[in-house]
């Protein structure tokens, strides 16, 4: 009887303890939207060199699912109750992969999720992937320091900074997410054009 009483007492204690734990707030998970025509298909001859897309380096706050926003000065926070489906570097890497596939000039594509070796690798540092306020106006800012690297010895062959600013007329989260989609489409088109041009000159000849 004493053993039974102790078991029941322990059970009630655990139930009481669980009931006072704070509940996690529900949040909406957003994917990065894209316009289907962001990178029009090219009708030029496909390149014969291969390209591997690496996950971008980023600061701790950007390398997370948080949707970052700078409301003023140097303060960076995130939208409450909303998250990305993946950390920003992964979102942008996957968007770039989709952009190259839509462009069609580089068909031998892979990412750093696999162990495939490629002639060239595209990576770099994601410096900005956030909403920024300037007074009463707001806009999405994306800044990427891109690197094109030779696959077999990791030698940097080319680099360039890309920056896109997409104004927002509505600062509610769904509209902000749409702005991120528009900004990423612009950035993708620029990076794809640059990488293909550089690859034509720098990739090893078969």
Q: Which domains are present in the chain?
A: 28-202 (3.40.50.10610)
Residue 83 CB-half CA count within 13 A? 13
- Check residue 110 and give its pLDDT: 97
Contact by Cβ (8 Å): 42, 101: no
Q: Name the pTM for this structure.
A: 0.84
Q: What is the mean pLDDT of each run of 10 residues along the chain (206 residues)?
A: 42 42 75 70 80 97 96 94 97 97 96 94 98 94 98 96 97 96 97 97 81
| CA-wise closest residue to 95 among 198, 22, 191 | 191
| End-to-end Cα spacing for the chain | 83
DSSP 74: T
- Check residue 23 and give its pLDDT: 61
- The backbone region for 44, taken as left when phi is positive above 0, alpha when psi lies in -120 to 50, beta otherwise, is beta
117: Cβ contacts below 8 Å, ≥ 6 apart: 52, 151, 152
- Check residue 6 and give its pLDDT: 39
């Amino acid at each position: 009887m004493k053993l039974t009483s102790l078991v029941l007492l322990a059970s009630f204690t655990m139930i009481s303890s669980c009931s006072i734990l704070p509940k996690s707030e529900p949040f909406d998970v957003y994917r990065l939207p894209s316009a289907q025509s962001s990178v029009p298909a090219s009708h030029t001859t496909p390149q014969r060199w291969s390209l591997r897309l690496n996950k971008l380096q980023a600061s701790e706050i950007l390398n997370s699912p948080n949707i970052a926003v700078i409301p003023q000065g140097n303060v960076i926070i995130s939208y409450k109750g909303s998250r990305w489906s993946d950390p920003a570097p992964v979102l942008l890497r996957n968007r770039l992969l989709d952009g190259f596939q839509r462009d069609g000039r580089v068909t031998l594509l892979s990412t750093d999720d696999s162990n495939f070796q490629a002639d060239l690798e595209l990576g770099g540092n994601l410096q900005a992937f956030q909403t920024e306020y300037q007074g009463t106006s707001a806009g999405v800012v994306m800044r990427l320091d891109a690197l094109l690297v030779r696959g077999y010895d990791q030698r940097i062959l080319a680099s360039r900074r890309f920056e896109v600013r997409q104004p927002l007329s509505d600062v509610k989260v769904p509209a902000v997410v749409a702005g991120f989609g528009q900004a990423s489409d612009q950035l993708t088109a620029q990076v794809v054009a640059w990488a293909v041009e550089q690859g034509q000159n720098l990739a090893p000849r078969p």
